[in-house]
Amino acid sequence: MFSVNEIRKDFPILERHVNGKPLVYFDNAATSQTPQIVIDSIVDYYSNYNANIHRGVHSLSQEATDKYENARIKIQKHFNAKEAYEIIFTSGTTHSINIIASGFSSLLNKGDEIIVSALEHHSNIVPWQMLCEKTGTLLKVIPMKLDGTLDMKTYHNLLNEKTKLVFCNHVSNALGTINPIKEIIDAAHKVNAAVLIDGAQATPHIKPDVQELDVDFYVASAHKLCGPTGQGMLYGKTAWLEKLPPYQGGGEMIATVSFEKTTYAGLPHKFEAGTPNICGGIAFGTAIDYMNAIGFNKIAAYENELLEYATKQLLEISGIKIYGTSKNKTAVISFNIDVVHPYDIGAILDKLGVAVRTGHHCAQPIMDFYQIPGTVRASFSFYNTKAEIDIFINSLKKAIQMLT
């Protein structure tokens, strides 16, 4: 049974007041809030078994190692990776993408082509631009349509024997559009191109099966999934991870070191140089357990209710324009009010206790496409309520009244 009132008790921050008003947190696409069980797992680590992993024979080190590697197995099972060592712990989605971009710099040649979608976050654009500058590879873009979906006909036409890599987000952070990634992956594989999917915005709402998708690389961040900041994961097929060179050199990622030659450790350690964010990895596993206990099907169904409820009320407001109107989207609404700047709306909403995101959302090409400076973005999670949406709508009306 899904009970939002019971779920809300798990999140201490939801009891906060901001500017004298009860907090209404609608910035979940930027970061989710953290349940007490995840907070407790972090405190437990530092209180009871804080030690470096993989390197010690003493009890604390072994206990920390076991819990850290058990978290890797939890994440493996969640994403249905074939092997636990195909899950690489990183500091987040951006770090994960940069590992792959760096690795491909030794595999690409001048005249090769890589393809990115027009819906990407900057973190899935800039590393590839840097790669192109290093290698002479050409960057091609899948165009977007007015409704915030991708022009898939053009995508298929872009693919050819020169295409080496395709990268696309599973869900747009700015618009909430769910992209047809299975079609993107299958088409890329027909021309022997690898595919990286940015799952940062999808994983709080969708439980991806990397084997069913047949994706080569899938990346995500813990802080979108009720976990801690500074922690993420990179899934890669074994063959690709073995082919790519290490991203960083240092401790843990080596098998042997001499001044003449170094040999690298096997997976996953090859890509995990240095002391990791140990408590972050453990807490990531706890967050995965927490969300699976609620159930992703229940989460998706409830969040869709919130999306429909909020969309209906917003469309009743004069002068509103919603960007990203795909029928297949997550609980994100990006909008503007006539000529009112989104920042001004967001600032007044904050004074009324409502947290939304304003600006270009690190997706400036999308804003350029719509010829706007940015949007107001309200993003919902499974711990939000329709009553909070009512507060948001009433607060928005007050803000509009003040600004027009």
- Taking only the tens place, the pLDDT of each residue in 240-275 is 999 999 888 877 766 776 777 777 778 899 999 899
All residue ranges of the chain with pLDDT < 70 are 253-254, 257
Predicted confidence at residue 296, as pLDDT, reads 97
Q: What is the pLDDT of residues 158-199, one digit of tens each?
A: 999 999 999 999 999 999 999 999 999 999 999 999 999 999
Q: Do 118 and 366 touch, CB atoms closer than 8 A? A: yes
Question: Per CATH, the architecture of 4-30+296-403 is what?
Answer: Alpha-Beta Complex (3.90)
Just list the catalytic residues. 362
Q: In the chain, where are the structural domains located?
A: 4-30+296-403, 39-293
Amino acid letter, residue 397: K
Q: Which residues contact 324 (CB under 8 A, 6 or more apart)?
A: 147, 148, 172, 174, 175, 176, 177, 332, 333, 334
Predicted confidence at residue 94, as pLDDT, reads 97
pTM, full prediction: 0.96
Predicted confidence at residue 273, as pLDDT, reads 86
Q: Rounded to an integer, what distance in angstroms lies between the CA atom of residue 238 and that of residue 45?
A: 31
CATH no. for 39-293: 3.40.640.10
Predicted confidence at residue 305, as pLDDT, reads 98
Q: Rounded to an integer, what distance in angstroms lies between the CA atom of residue 328 and that of residue 375?
A: 20
